[in-house]
């Protein structure tokens, strides 16, 4: 069985669970050209509820705005995640993520990560030179800079999710398919592997939704209980929206559910029982 390293994830880091969804799913299929209508547009907004066991541990949001960045048309995606209630008392999380994604190539130009996770803080800006395959990292917390070589077509934590939605070819997937990619996180390139499990209709607060189901292969003994303990569902429609994430942790279990949305480019399909 394949074993690969994973990025360490604090127990109640609600927003990173969402962007990890994008990272894992991105590896399913990477197409050379976009041949269909884009999955998202300016004004799209998602809100997610994070459950730790029976407790609501926090909320996370993702918002898309169309802007111009260095004379290029981009989607500026802003993500925010925080713990709430009793979870915040035991483990305070406030995470901010931003990505500037080329409107036509789906590749990121800039990534911002500013986090506070139980007192552990990071504040970094990464500028991507896609042509020369370089990442220019500015650590604002320590006022340090460095340059790291990247893979061709590199994605950041946030842009990966949106690249997936525009380029995932679901028509060619069959259960058991496994593919991978190199993902740039923090200051390093990371490999990820993913297995497609098939289609499933799940119950949500909006009704029954047809989904595509995936399982990444991760290393056990650090965060996860077993090698294959994270499962992700995305809507089986033109939105490719994240609907649910489930994980078995070293202590307890975690579930992330889509809680609210607006500004979807395509109709949101609900299964109606006969």
Question: 149: domain CATH number?
Answer: 2.40.360
Residue 22 pLDDT more than 60? no
Asked if the structure places residue 270 within a domain, the reply is no
Q: What is the pTM for the complete model shown?
A: 0.82
Asked if the structure places residue 214 within a domain, the reply is yes
Domain extent at residue 257: 14-261
Asked if the structure places residue 267 within a domain, the reply is no
Indicate the SS3 state at residue 191.
Answer: strand
H or E stretch covering 75: strand 72-83
pLDDT tens profile 107-150:
999 999 999 989 999 999 999 999 999 999 999 999 999 999 99
Asked if the structure places residue 150 within a domain, the reply is yes
Task: Give the other-Cβ count within 10 Å of 141's Cβ.
Answer: 11
Asked if the structure places residue 273 within a domain, the reply is no
pLDDT at 206: 95
Asked if the structure places residue 7 within a domain, the reply is no
d(C-alpha 99, C-alpha 112), whole Å: 6
Task: Give the other-Cβ count within 10 Å of 251's Cβ.
Answer: 10
pLDDT tens profile 43-89:
999 999 999 888 899 999 999 999 999 999 999 999 999 999 888 88
Asked if the structure places residue 255 within a domain, the reply is yes
pLDDT tens profile 171-184:
888 999 876 666 78
Enter the tokens of residue 47: 């809100």
Asked if the structure places residue 220 within a domain, the reply is yes
- What is the number of structural domains in the chain? 1
């Amino acid at each position: 069985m394949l074993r690969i390293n994973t990025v360490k994830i604090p127990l109640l880091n609600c927003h990173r669970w969402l962007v990890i969804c994008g990272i894992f799913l991105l590896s399913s299929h990477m197409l050379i050209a976009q041949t269909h209508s884009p999955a998202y547009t300016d004004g799209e907004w998602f809100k997610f509820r994070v459950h730790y066991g029976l407790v609501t541990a926090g909320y996370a949001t993702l918002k898309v705005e169309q802007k111009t960045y260095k004379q290029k048309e981009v989607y500026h995606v802003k993500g925010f995640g925080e713990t709430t209630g009793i979870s915040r008392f035991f483990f305070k999380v406030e995470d901010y993520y931003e990505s500037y994604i080329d409107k036509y190539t789906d590749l990121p130009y800039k990534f911002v990560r500013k986090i506070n996770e139980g007192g552990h803080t990071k504040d970094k800006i990464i500028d991507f030179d896609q042509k020369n395959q370089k990442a220019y990292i500015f650590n604002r917390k320590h006022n340090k800079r460095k340059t790291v070589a990247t893979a061709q077509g590199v994605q950041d934590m946030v842009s990966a999710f949106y690249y997936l939605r525009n380029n995932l070819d679901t028509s060619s997937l069959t259960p058991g398919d496994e593919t991978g990619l190199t993902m740039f996180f923090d200051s390093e390139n990371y490999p990820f592997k993913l297995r497609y499990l098939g289609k499933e209709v799940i119950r949500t607060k909006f009704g029954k939704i047809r989904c595509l189901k995936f399982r990444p292969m991760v290393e056990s003994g650090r965060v996860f209980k077993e090698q294959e303990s994270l499962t992700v569902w995305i809507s089986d429609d033109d939105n490719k929206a994240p609907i649910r994430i489930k994980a078995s942790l070293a202590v307890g279990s975690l579930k992330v559910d889509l809680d609210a949305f607006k500004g979807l480019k395509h109709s949101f399909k609900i299964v109606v029982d006969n």
